[in-house]
Amino acid sequence: GAGVSQSPRYKVAKRGQDVALRCDPISGHVSLFWYQQALGQGPEFLTYFQNEAQLDKSGLPSDRFFAERPEGSVSTLKIQRTQQEDSAVYLCASSLSGTSGSGGEQFFGPGTRLTVL
């Protein structure tokens, strides 16, 4: 079956532009996560959805970052007024489990590489 897909795969933005990154999770997966991976580092958690509810947004670095999952399936991560420090790979993951603390396996998409000039 299809895995997690993300689009676009690459995005170049000028500083100050707004960008929107899309994630299509595996069908039927309850949980959806966004991570940010800076060059040469491990991924860092941004936000988590259980169905359409955003249960944890503690990792969002500023109020310029906004995520939504209005119908409990596709999710969009939006970054307003992009800055150079936003340059990173943005990874989306989905998990069948919705139970907090269950540690259900997360399946990752290929990521979107964002470069802010």
Partner 1 sequence: AQSVTQPDIHITVSEGASLELRCNYSYGATPYLFWYVQSPGQGLQLLLKYFSGDTLVQGIKGFEAEFKRSQSSFNLRKPSVHWSDAAEYFCAVVFKAAGNKLTFGGGTRVLVKP
Which chain residues interact with partner 1 by CB under 8 A? 3-4, 31, 33, 35, 40-45, 48, 55-56, 59, 91, 93, 95, 97, 99-111
User: Which single residue is written with the structure tokens 């707004």?
Assistant: 18
Do the beta carbons of residue 57 and residue 67 sit within 8 Å? yes
Distance CA 109, CA 55 (A): 21
Q: For partner 1, which is the closer residue by CB, 62 or 102?
A: 102
**In the bound complex, what is the minimum distance in angstroms from residue 60's beta carbon to partner 1?**
12
**In the bound complex, what is the minimum distance in angstroms from residue 92's beta carbon to partner 1?**
9
For 6: left if phi > 0, alpha if psi spans -120 to 50, otherwise beta; the answer is beta
Q: How crowded is residue 91: how many other Cβ atoms within 10 Å of its Cβ?
A: 22
Q: For partner 1, which is the closer residue by CB, 59 or 80?
A: 59
**In the bound complex, what is the minimum distance in angstroms from residue 100's beta carbon to partner 1?**
5
